Amino acid sequence: MKIKATSPKTGRELTVEYEVPETHAGMLELWGEAGIHSLAQRQAATDVKNFCRARLDKTDDNYMTDEAIIEALTGYNAGLPTKAKDPKSKAQTLMGKLSPEVRAALLAALQDQEEDENSDDSDDNE
C-alpha cells in the first residue's frame, strides 16, 4: 500500500510502500492479535475524535452543544462509513451555511424558476 506523509512544518512530502495485508488472516499472521487490537483501538479513537471535531467546528445555525454532540455519537460505529444524507438533508445543511442574504437570494431565484416552469406547463395545456 502506498502511504503519503506530509510535514505541516516544512511541507515536505514522502510516499512510501508499506505492507498492509488485504485479509484479517494476513493481518493476524503479520501483526498478531495484540497488534490488530492495538491498531483497532487507536483507529477507533481517531475516528471518534474526528467525528467530534467536525461537530465542534460548527458555528452559527449549525452550532451543536456538547450534549448534542454526545447524543449524536450514540449509535456511531467507528471505522464504518456513516450513512449518506438524503438530498433534502444535504440541501438543508448546505443552505444553513449560507449567509442570510445569499440564502434569501437563492430561495427567490428558485421560486422564480419554479414559477417559470409552472407557467411553461400551463402554456402546454392550452
What lies within 8 Å, CB to CB, of 95 at 6+ separation is 103, 106
Cβ atoms within 10 Å of 85's Cβ, excluding its own: 11
Query: Is 61 inside any structural domain?
Result: no
Query: Is 117 inside any structural domain?
Result: yes
Helices 66-73 and 24-56: crossing angle in degrees, nearest 10, is: 160
Query: Per the structure, how many domains does the chain have?
Result: 1
Q: pTM value?
A: 0.55
pLDDT in tens, 51-86: 899 889 888 778 888 998 999 888 888 877 766 566
Query: Is 119 inside any structural domain?
Result: yes
Residue-range definition of the domain harbouring residue 91: 84-126
pLDDT in tens, 18-57: 999 999 999 999 999 999 999 999 999 999 999 899 889 8
